[in-house]
């Protein structure tokens, strides 16, 4: 893996100080990081000479993993306790993880494989170099 994400990185981003979740965070990193790295276009991932690009990629991956961890924490029993009186709610925000995942996804969006042109978009419809490409109205190009 070209990008290095540690449990300490995720804990810092999630503002967690205890080591209670270290094994869960490490398992989540091992599960998610290879898939996230695979979704990044190889030319960006392998461009280790560009430190700024690598920093953006690492931050995006870190945000997505941390957001998923926060979402898992929110699903624990008792994590979503909330007190409401007359329209005023007091409790933890349930959108923290989802917002962080969206932020990381937006950060990585320009570098993903899916942004690359499809093969049909980057090849010509005709391979005759000297002929003029003319299609009749009843011919199908695709």
What are the sequence ranges of the domains in the chain?
7-118
| Residue 51 structure tokens | 């430190």
> What is the full per-residue pLDDT of the chain (142 aa) written as tens digits?
579 999 999 999 999 999 999 999 999 999 999 999 999 999 999 999 999 999 999 999 999 999 999 999 888 765 556 656 666 666 665 568 999 999 999 999 999 997 656 555 555 555 555 566 665 666 555 5
- Looking at residue 114, what is its pLDDT? 76
Buried b (16+ CB within 10 A) or exposed e, 26-51: eebbeebbeebbebbeeebbeeeeee
54-61 long-range contacts, Cβ below 8 Å, gap at least 24?
Answer: 54/2, 54/3, 56/107, 56/111, 57/3, 57/108, 57/111, 58/3, 58/4, 58/5, 59/104, 59/107, 60/104, 60/105, 60/107, 60/108, 60/111, 61/3, 61/5, 61/33, 61/36, 61/37, 61/104, 61/108
pLDDT recorded at residue 130: 59
Q: Is 110 exposed, middle or buried (0-12, 13-18, 19+ CB in 10 A)?
A: exposed
């Amino acid at each position: 893996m070209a990008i290095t994400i540690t449990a300490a990185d995720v804990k810092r981003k999630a503002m967690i100080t205890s080591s209670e979740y270290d094994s869960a965070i490490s398992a989540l990193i091992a599960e998610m990081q290879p898939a996230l790295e695979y979704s990044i276009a190889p030319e960006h991932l392998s461009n280790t000479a560009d430190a700024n690009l690598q920093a953006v990629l690492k931050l995006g991956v870190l945000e997505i993993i941390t957001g998923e961890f926060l979402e898992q924490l929110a699903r624990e029993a008792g994590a979503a306790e909330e007190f409401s009186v007359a329209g005023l709610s007091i409790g933890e925000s349930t959108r923290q993880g989802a917002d962080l995942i969206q932020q990381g996804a937006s950060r990585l969006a320009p570098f993903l494989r899916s942004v690359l042109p499809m093969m049909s978009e980057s090849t010509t419809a005709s391979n005759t170099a000297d002929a003029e490409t003319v299609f009749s109205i009843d011919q199908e190009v695709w």
